[in-house]
Structure 1
């Protein structure tokens, strides 16, 4: 798998989306870009790759290499592998994330656990965090309710951006946040002590 690249840079996203829209309605995971140089002697040179591969080359020529070293969530890693048609890596990432969660010594979540999710700055959006409370709602199900956040967004901008991992009743309330936000963004507190500390700074 290629090294992780910060995909939140709006310039890189704009270039990628422009290339993906060259064929309206096409699924980006199924697209390949071909660039062909036709030579006089009926020979040709060519380059081919996925839309995000071409976008990265254009971005690098304009702005330098995209920032590297930013950890991606398991879902983002799996989507990256899928875009590169790497089924083995896609499956390994998802299975590895599942095992990392379900085999943790603090798993499963318990009533009273606090879950804090940190989001890095992305483009014009400042870094912020959300804190959730896990509660037993009976029948082997748990809720995950948003307690607080420090997003600078105005109330009319919050819809869909804050509290997206809240759950009324789930058998595993951490699963979605673990895969979509990523374990590196999660800090889980049990009985006043951290049992999982993500690596996001």
Structure 2
């Protein structure tokens, strides 16, 4: 099932979980801590928009078909070729919302970003590791630390091969992950913060 379709199904179910009740745009709740671990402190109520919660649930679903292995940009370009403006917009806005609603967003200086690339023709699978840096004035950089791209690839000269490494490095940007998130795709990114993975691409 495509994640966009799953998102629609989840949203409908959250808006109206049972028949003959008004559809809801907000979900209200209360922490279960007061049930499992009684405490003198009363847990604070919480509320969340239905579409935001649905997006977070859908983002955790495993990737299950070839379409979902495409990056958001590739999905948008595919939809554009099919002249389907709705799918094109959904691919881009969905990826934007998935990134900016992630609990670890925004990136922080010191974050490590690993990008995995599958085999493509004669080009074997390889990976790149970047580090987020502080560029000043609330801006950040993305610097290439290492890569496993072979020095020689059949059918490509050494210069062309070398230029493929570090294509997502940026000197100064407010969101240094944006380009990699859209062009490589979140399913190919693994992000580590303070020694712990906060986003594992393709998990599940």
Q: TM-score range by the shorter chain?
A: 0.5 to 0.7
Structure 1 equivalent of residue 199 of structure 2: 196
User: Equivalent of 2:169, from 141, 166, 169?
Assistant: 166
Provide the TM-score with structure 1 as the length reference: 0.64
After TM superposition, which residue ranges in structure 1, 4 or more long, deviate above 2 angstroms? 67-70, 153-160
Q: Say whether residues 1:156 and 2:154 are aligned partners.
A: no
1:152, distance to aligned residue in structure 2 (A): 1.0
Pair 1:88 & 2:86 matched: yes
Structure 1's unaligned 5+ residue stretches are: 5-66
Q: Distance in 2 between matches of 1:178 and 1:167?
A: 14
Query: Could you tell me whether the CA contact under 8 Å between 1:118 and 1:127 is conserved in 2?
Result: yes
TM superposition shift of 1:156: 2.7
Equivalence for 2:132: 134
Contact 2:133 2:140 in 1 (8 A): yes
Shift of 1:70: 6.5
Which deviations, in whole Å up to 9, do the C-alpha atoms of 1:27-58 show, x marking residues without a partner? xxxxxxxxxxxxxxxxxxxxxxxxxxxxxxxx
Match of 1:158, SS state, is helix
C-alpha distance in structure 2 between counterparts of 1:151 and 1:200, whole Å: 23
Does the CA-based 8 Å contact 2:67-2:75 persist in structure 1? no
Alignment CA distance shift 1:70-1:102 (3 Å): closer
Query: Once the two structures are superposed, what CA deviation does each residue of 1:140-180 show, in whole Å capped at 9, x if it has no partner?
Result: 11010000000113353334311000000000000000000
Number of residue pairs aligned between Structure 1 and Structure 2? 137
Query: For residues 100-111 of structure 1, what are the structure 2 equivalents within 5 Å?
Result: 100-111=98-109
